[in-house]
């Protein structure tokens, strides 16, 4: 079995690995990407529902606001390769992009494959080598410096190493968590893995009855005691076993896991009205059309299925006339409209998450280079690191930026060690 030598080896040819390979090769180091799949960037193909929301045309400050934990860790990486740099990079390599709602960036063709092709063109142009169908199964540190990687058909020796093997979500794309084992084997601390951007499970008796119903312009709130953990306006979706859609997914990034027993989640179905304004609206409806049924009023206020469910939860007869409602019943209805409770008790499994939280502990990495502090030539990049963001193109950009920074510095370190 043969042993190949390279100055920089990159394990994983996803978003972070391709960026690492490109910026290492551009910095002048002989670079080899090792990818277990039959092609590079397999996960990219399924991103953005096949359209690949590759980045967000945000400023640095705006971007960091979308990163719930440790945003400052990304400052250098995003300065090294900004969203605008990424847009230019793919455009310069044959993939024009467009900016959509929320400054989400997509290829003009709406084809995720065009984004991967652009990165591949850039890799070829820079002279970066890659080997497909090459799963790294072990890493050891060489006594004289550098690393030895074990593959089924041989070994690779590298002066510097970038590990960019992704997280644990959608394992069919190749991200099966190998990098966590490598990190632990190399004595690099990691944080427990948890799903993020993930649909939530509810235990309400009516769960599933609203399946497929999307609510727009509502406010979703999660609280513990008096502390609000998350509150945001937007759109959400009921599923067969709970809630999903933009608000629910984003909320999942902010929840402690496992979910605590004192977590309270509610929907404000009328966020445009204060409690007072809602009560006045009821009074007005009663004064103007007291003979209308409650069901008719709810249908005017809410999507039909939501209105009927709210009445069923309130225990008030939908056929009751507005002028028959007691003050207590009006209060119950106003209360439910402003804070409809959801018994959220868990999340879907990590394999179904858009991203994996946890992973390589950021405290063990130098944010200016992505290298492991106090260790020579060892770098991490992408989703494998304990940093993640909301939806909107931010997660791919984090992978591109951390990968680019790691690749660049791995190359500089490898080239410097040649002269030592
Ligand atoms: C359904 C879905 C949709 C998404 N949509 C978007 C979106 O539109 N915009 C956005 O910003 N983010 C999106 N994301 C998140 C985004 O895809 C990830 O954050 C990003 O791909 C992480 O890049 P990465 O390079 O760190 O990991 P990955 O893309 O997972 O790449 C890791 C690579 O390493 C390889 N590998 C693993 N182990 C080994 C090994 N031992 N040897 C060799 N190779 C190995 C894998 O095969 C894989 O190719 C989405 C995620 C999902 C699941």
How much distance in Å is there from the Cα of 314 to the middle of ligand 1?
45
List, for residues 9-23, the tens digit of each pLDDT value. Answer: 999 999 999 999 999
Per residue in 155-210, pLDDT tens? Answer: 999 999 999 999 999 999 999 999 999 999 999 999 999 999 999 999 999 999 99
pLDDT bracket for residue 61 (50, 70, 90): very high
Residue 418 pLDDT greater than 90, yes or no? no
pLDDT at residue 419 in the model: 80
Q: How far apart are the first and last CA of the chain?
A: 30
Each residue of 300-349: pLDDT tens digit? 999 999 999 999 999 999 999 999 999 999 999 999 999 999 999 999 99
Q: Which numbered atom of ligand 1 lies nearest the CA of 41?
A: 49
pLDDT of 181: 97
**Alpha carbons 363 and 6: distance in angstroms, whole number:** 29
Are 314 and 218 contained in the same domain?
yes
Is the separation of the CB atoms in 194 and 359 below 8 Å?
A: no
Residues 249 and 182 in one domain: no
Domain of 368: which CATH number? 3.50.50.60
Of 2, 266, 46, 340, the residue nearest 151 (C-alpha) = 2
Specify the CATH number for the domain of residue 319.
1.10.8.100
Which atom of ligand 1 is found nearest the CA of 12? 34
For position 62, what pLDDT does the model report? 98
- Closest atom of ligand 1 to CA, residue 393: 11
Total domains, the chain: 2
Q: Mutation test of ligand 1: which of 10, 12, 130 has the most ligand atoms closer than 8 Å to its C-beta?
A: 12
On whether the CB atoms of residues 33 and 129 are closer than 8 A, the answer is: yes
SS3 label, residue 377: coil
Structural domain containing residue 109: 2-195+354-418
- Confidence label for 420 from pLDDT (cuts 50, 70 and 90): confident
And the tokens for 130?
A: 């890659």
Cα of 43 to ligand 1 centre, how many Å? 5
Res 207: pLDDT: 95
If you take atom 5 of ligand 1, which residue's CA is the nearest one?
47
Pocket test for ligand 1, best of 165, 381, 407 (most atoms within 8 A of CB): 165
Contact 51, 112 (CB under 8 A): yes
Residues 216 and 329 in one domain: yes
For atom 20 of ligand 1, the residue with the nearest CA is 396
Question: Which ligand 1 atom is the nearest neighbour of the CA of 134?
Answer: 43
pLDDT of residue 2: 84
Q: Is-contact 14 174, C-beta < 8 A?
A: yes
Pocket of ligand 1 (CB under 6 A): 11-17, 34-37, 42-43, 46-48, 52-53, 135-136, 164-166, 169-170, 173-175, 178, 354-355, 382-384, 393-396, 399
Question: Which secondary-structure segment (H or E) carries 337?
Answer: helix 327-338
- Indicate which residue's Cα is closest to atom 23 of ligand 1: 15
Averaged pLDDT for residues 247-271: 96
- What average pLDDT does the segment 48-73 reach? 97
Ligand 1 centroid – CA 12 distance (Å): 9
Taking the alpha carbons of 408, 413, 416, 417 in that order, is the dihedral positive or negative? negative
- Both 222 and 236 in one domain: the answer is yes
Residue 72 has what pLDDT? 97
39 and 186 belong to one structural domain: yes
**Do residues 154 and 204 both lie within one domain?**
no
- What does 23-87 look like in DSSP terms, one character per residue? HHHHTT--EEEE-SSSSS-TGGGGGGGGT---EE---HHHHHHT-SS-GGGGHHHHHHS-HHHHH
Q: Is the dihedral of CA 132, 134, 136, 137 positive or negative?
A: positive
**Domain stops at, among 299, 316, 347:** 347
Do 50 and 143 lie in a common domain?
Answer: yes
Whether residue 323 sits in one domain with residue 394: no
- Nearest atom of ligand 1 to the alpha carbon of 182: 41
- Percent pLDDT > 90 in the chain is 95
Q: Are 312 and 358 part of one and the same domain?
A: no
* Angle at alpha carbon of residue 356, lines to 354 and 358, rounded to 5°: 155
Domain identity same for 158 and 299:
no
Ligand 1 pocket test, pick from 166, 252, 357 with the greatest ligand atom count within 8 Å of Cβ, gives 166
Neighbours of 327 (CB within 10 A): 8
Ligand 1 nearest-atom number relative to CA 55: 11
Supply the pLDDT for residue 336. 97
What is the rounded average pLDDT for all residues in the chain?
Answer: 96
Q: Is 286 in the same domain as 361?
A: no
Cα-to-centroid distance, 15 and ligand 1 (Å): 6
The ligand 1 atom at the shortest distance from the C-alpha of residue 17 is 25
pLDDT score for 1: 65
């Amino acid at each position: 079995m043969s042993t190949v030598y390279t100055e920089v080896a990159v394990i994983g040819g996803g978003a972070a690995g391709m960026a690492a390979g490109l910026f290492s090769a551009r910095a002048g180091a002989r670079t080899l990407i090792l990818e277990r799949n039959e092609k590079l960037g397999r996960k990219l193909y399924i991103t953005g529902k096949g359209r690949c929301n590759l980045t967000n045309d945000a400023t640095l400050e705006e971007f960091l606001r979308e990163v719930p934990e440790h945003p400052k860790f990304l400052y250098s990486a995003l300065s090294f390769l900004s969203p605008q740099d990424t847009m230019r990079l793919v455009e310069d390599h044959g993939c024009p992009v467009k900016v959509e709602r929320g400054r989400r960036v997509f290829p003009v063709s709406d084809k995720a494959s065009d984004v991967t092709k652009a990165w591949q063109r850039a890799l070829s142009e820079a002279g970066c080598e890659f080997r497909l169908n090459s799963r790294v199964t072990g890493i050891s540190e060489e006594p004289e410096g550098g690393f030895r990687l074990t593959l089924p058909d041989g070994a690779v020796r590298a002066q510097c190493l970038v590990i960019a093997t992704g997280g644990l979500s959608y394992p069919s794309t190749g991200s099966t968590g190998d990098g966590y084992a490598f990190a632990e084997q190399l004595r690099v601390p990691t944080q427990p893995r948890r799903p993020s951007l993930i649909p939530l499970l509810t235990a309400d008796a009516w769960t599933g009855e609203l399946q497929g119903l999307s609510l727009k312009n509502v406010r979703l709130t999660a609280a513990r005691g008096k502390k609000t953990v998350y509150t945001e306006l937007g759109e959400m979706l009921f599923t067969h076993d709970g809630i999903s859609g933009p608000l629910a997914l984003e909320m999942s990034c902010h929840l402690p896991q496992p979910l605590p027993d004192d977590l309270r989640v509610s929907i404000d179905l009328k966020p445009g009205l204060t409690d007072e304004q809602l009560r006045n609206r009821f009074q007005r409806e009663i004064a103007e059309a007291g003979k209308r049924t409650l069901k008719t009023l709810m249908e005017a206020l809410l999507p039909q299925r939501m209105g009927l469910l709210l009445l069923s939860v309130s225990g008030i007869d939908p056929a009751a006339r507005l002028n028959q409602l007691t003050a207590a019943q009006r209060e119950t209805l106003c209360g439910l409209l402003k804070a409809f409770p959801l018994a959220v008790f868990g999340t879907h499994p990590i394999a179904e998450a858009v991203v994996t939280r946890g992973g390589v502990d950021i405290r063990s990495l130098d944010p200016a280079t992505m290298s492991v502090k106090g260790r020579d030539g060892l770098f991490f990049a992408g989703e494998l690191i304990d940093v993640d963001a909301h939806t909107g193109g931010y997660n791919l950009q984090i992978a591109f930026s951390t990968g680019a920074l790691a690749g660049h510095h791995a190359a500089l370190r490898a080239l410097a060690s040649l002269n030592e």
